Amino acid sequence: MKIGYFSYSAIGADAVSLLPKLAEIGYKTVELATWEEEPFSPELLGTGGSRKLKRELDTSGLSVSALACHTTFVYSEVAKKQERIDWFRRRAELAAELETDILTTATGPVPENLSAVTSWDQLVEVTGAILDAIENFGMRLAIEVHAHPGKSRLGVNLDCSHFIVNGDGWKQAATVLIPRTIHVHLKGMKGKEFTNCGDSDDDFPAQGLIAMLQSAGYTGAISVENIPAKNWSKKAMVSARYLKGIISENR
């Protein structure tokens, strides 16, 4: 099991400022946010940018746990479907170049003018089309959160904070979802509010979740998702120290 960090939490950080610092702190993997305005998106990297990024990753000694591809799957405009498929295909190509096979995502909100039945049908159709598009690149898709994905390349990006915010039992949900989990997001929680992982006010029982993951044989990354900040590195250091301690205790 490797401790990773989600680049979304580091506002304004590009590869040059982010990767060496994460390696210095002791992180082993990084999850790269790739929506259009992020420095790691295919659109902003441009021609040759992925090769430069791979060299910087290799120099820092970090692997990529996943590319974060959070977007909206359901649209009232039919033309948007192909746009989303092409959008995922570009990210799958980048992921292959960076030597990861996981794309994390969430399905986004439902348009107000679509019925629940139409929205669900479209979600199933678009998800299947995206899976077909990324399969050629050997990718797996990790969605927050889906208990019975059906297809072998569709798994879970486990983020227990979603259950806590909605007043549901995270432990019961994790028990069901861990067998299909291929990536993990870990946030700090103070009651139902987000905080930084390992902060003094973080009351989420991360030790219990990590014990469940280890017991199930999970060997993937735990990607720390702290509150986005420009001065992110001190909190990232606290989170790394906190999780290393838990993993060491659980061995």
Q: Indicate the pLDDT class of residue 148, thresholds 50, 70 and 90.
A: very low
Question: What percent of the chain is modeled with pLDDT above 90?
Answer: 76
Q: What is the mean pLDDT of the chain?
A: 92
Tell me the CATH class for 2-250: alpha beta
C-alpha separations of 39 from 59, 94, 105, 123, 194 in Å: 18, 13, 18, 28, 25
- Cα separation values, 79 from 57, 66, 207, Å: 36, 28, 45
Least confident span in 26-40, 65-79, 161-175:
65-79
Q: Which amino acid does the sequence have at 191?
A: G
Question: Does residue 186 surpass a pLDDT of 80?
Answer: yes
Determine the average pLDDT of the residues in 158-169: 92
User: pTM value?
Assistant: 0.85
Q: Please report, rounded to a whole number, the percentage of residues in the chain having pLDDT higher than 70.
A: 96
In angstroms, the CA 49 to CA 150 distance is: 35
Residue indicated by tokens 């990767």 = 19
List the domain boundaries for the chain: 2-250
| pLDDT tens for each residue of 82-127 | 898 999 999 999 999 999 999 999 877 777 888 878 888 888 888 9
Q: Given a cut of 60, is residue 146 above it in pLDDT?
A: no
**pLDDT the model gives residue 231:** 95
